[in-house]
């Protein structure tokens, strides 16, 4: 059962990111959050992100899956603050629309130390549009330290504390 949206644990975002950047006028402007053991996002893709008329570009669909699976590795992984994609496989099952709400959800399958395995899917109106699997590797401490100052933490109680502790220890 979904939690009250006012109580959601949102994930960090940044101003310029193509997916979560609130100031990126060309992007998606999505906010992702944690619900149970999954990372979720609900977005209405704007028409300029189409591939064909009224159909989301496959690269945008892949990017949404990539982003949420990377966050699933980060949120549910054992010890690393940020992960990057090592491998991504996407199966497109039906067109994902622009102009209608779609839901992306991802989860960690296994944290094997040096690699984390995740899966995700995009749905619209109860229909699965795409499924993905990916392998994610921990970002280096130097890379993580470089990224953290660009993150914004509105609505991110738990994550702000984790990243603040990481930043203080580096």
Q: What stretch of H or E contains 133?
A: strand 127-138
CATH homologous superfamily of 8-162: Hotdog Thioesterase (3.10.129.10)
> In the prediction, which pLDDT does 147 show?
84
Domain ranges of the chain: 8-162
pLDDT band at 55 (very low <50, low <70, confident <90, very high): very high
pLDDT band at 84 (very low <50, low <70, confident <90, very high): very high
Has residue 138 got a pLDDT over 80? Answer: yes
pLDDT band at 2 (very low <50, low <70, confident <90, very high): very low
pTM listed for this prediction: 0.90
- Percent of the residues in the chain that have a pLDDT greater than 90, as a whole number: 56
Long-range (24+ apart) CB contacts under 8 A made by 12-16 are 12/151, 12/152, 12/153, 12/156, 12/159, 12/160, 12/163, 13/151, 13/152, 13/154, 14/150, 14/151, 14/152, 15/150, 15/152, 16/150
pLDDT band at 170 (very low <50, low <70, confident <90, very high): very low
**Over residues 60-87, mean pLDDT:** 91
pLDDT band at 146 (very low <50, low <70, confident <90, very high): confident
> Poorest-confidence range of 2-11, 54-63, 160-169?
160-169
């Amino acid at each position: 059962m979904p939690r009250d949206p006012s109580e959601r644990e949102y994930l960090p975002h940044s101003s310029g990111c193509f997916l979560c950047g609130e100031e990126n006028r060309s992007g998606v402007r999505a906010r992702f959050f944690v619900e149970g053991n999954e990372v979720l996002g609900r977005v209405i893709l704007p028409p300029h992100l189409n591939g064909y008329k009224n159909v989301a570009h496959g690269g945008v669909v892949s990017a949404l899956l990539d982003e949420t699976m990377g966050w699933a590795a980060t949120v549910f992984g054992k010890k690393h603050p940020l992960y990057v994609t090592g491998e991504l496989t996407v199966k497109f099952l039906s067109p994902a629309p622009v102009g209608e709400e779609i839901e992306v959800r991802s989860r960690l399958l296994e944290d094997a130390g040096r690699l984390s395995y995740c899966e995700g899917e995009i749905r619209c109106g109860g229909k699965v549009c795409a499924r993905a699997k990916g392998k994610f590797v921990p970002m280096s401490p130097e890379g993580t330290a470089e990224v953290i100052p660009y993150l914004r933490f509105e609505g991110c109680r738990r994550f702000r504390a984790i990243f603040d502790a990481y930043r203080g220890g580096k």
